[in-house]
Amino acid sequence: MTATVQLTGMNQPELASFMETLSEPAYRGRQLFAALQHRRLRSFDEITDLPKDLRARLSEVAQAATLKVESQYLSNDGTRRYLMKTHDGLPVETVFIPEERRDTICFSSQSGCPLQCTFCLTAQLGLLRSLTAGEIVEQIQIALNDAYGTGVKPPRGTNLVAMGAGEPLLNLDQLLKALRVMTDPQGLHIVPNRVTVSTAGVVPRILELATISDRPHLAISLAAPTDELRNELMPINKKWPLEELLSACKFFEKTLKPGERLTFEYVMLEGVNDSDEQARQLANLLNRHNIRSKVNLIPHNAADPLPYRPSSDAVVERFKNILESKGVHTYVRRPRGRDIFAACGQLAARQTTLNTRVVTNLVGAS
């Protein structure tokens, strides 16, 4: 039999059924789940609480890990970027961002991306393919094992954000499957309400997400206050323009929990979308729809050959003040990992040694 069954994306009942196909009792499935998720082991050889002959049989029919780490980069600010390859040779990127009170792992939902946002380097790859639930889970395992050691419980909470490569809502089934595996209490210690999915605005999927009780938080990338400019920066807007998008957000608002806000992300591009007038337009747009929300201003991360520059700190501050003067909750997101192409919009499978320390170059890291 060929070794094609990928076990990392399976939940406990699926692993129990899988073990039954090998004529093993269901509890072996729970053991396997604990080994793969709780202990974050990435090869059957390491699962020494399973009998040796069972491990050998598993190696013949299944895989405990498929992603291989090709390179990993460490930023001056502690951010780590992992460039990995799928079994079929496609790039996957993940970023680990340590912070004082918690860590954030920014993972990818697709290899490349089909959307054509003009300020994003990933867009230039096009869509290579959507990732499987297992490939999504593996990204988190690899980052946690590297940061803390195999299976070591993270000392701080871990935030997950689906803001790496890809449009997560175009891979919603696999994404939700992965999130359910990771938030299993016997799993990776991920807390459901610390997961945020960011979309460019796939309206039907926003409406669908609103009907899912264990959904993650939602962030919408806006980038422009008018259809005219958004059509240019985010061509998805031609399909689902701002009015439709914000109506979907209004519908989604009904599902917000106490204290939860919808996030609007606004990348700040010098001389393109950062004028006082555009700040007022943005505030008016959001106020007109009156959605319980906040705005994250994200200074653009310049990367050749993108034709944009980041807005200056003073302009970002001014933009923020205008939004706040009109009652819009506004925050500025500090860029992390710019020097290693790990920041928002910079993920494009770049191998670079510019301003970086390549920590290691290893295959099958865990």
Give catalytic status of residue 14 as yes or no.
no
Residue 115 contacts ligand SF4 per CB under 6 A: yes
- Which residue lies nearer to ligand SF4 by CB, 100 or 173? 173
Residue 222 contacts ligand SF4 per CB under 6 A: no
Q: Which of 24, 93, 138, 167 is catalytic?
A: 93
Residue 10 contacts ligand SF4 per CB under 6 A: no
**Residue from 64, 128, 200, 328 binding ligand SF4 (CB under 6 A):** 200
Question: Measured from the CB of residue 196, what is the shortest distance to ligand SF4 in angstroms?
Answer: 14
**Residue from 120, 143, 188, 220 binding ligand SF4 (CB under 6 A):** 120
Residue 172 contacts ligand SF4 per CB under 6 A: no
Residue 122 contacts ligand SF4 per CB under 6 A: yes
The stretch among 161-169, 172-180, 307-315, 333-341 that binds ligand SF4 (CB under 6 A) is 161-169
Please state, in angstroms and as integers, the Cα–Cα distance from residue 268 to each residue in 246, 262, 321, following that order.
Answer: 20, 19, 14
Give catalytic status of residue 253 as yes or no.
no
Residue 167 contacts ligand SF4 per CB under 6 A: yes
- Which residue lies nearer to ligand SF4 by CB, 113 or 220? 113
Residue 67 near residue 102, CB atoms below 8 Å: no
Question: Measured from the CB of residue 86, what is the shortest distance to ligand SF4 in angstroms?
Answer: 17
Give contact residues for ligand SF4 (rule: CB under 6 A): 113, 115, 117, 120, 122-123, 165-167, 200, 345
Catalytic residues: 93, 344
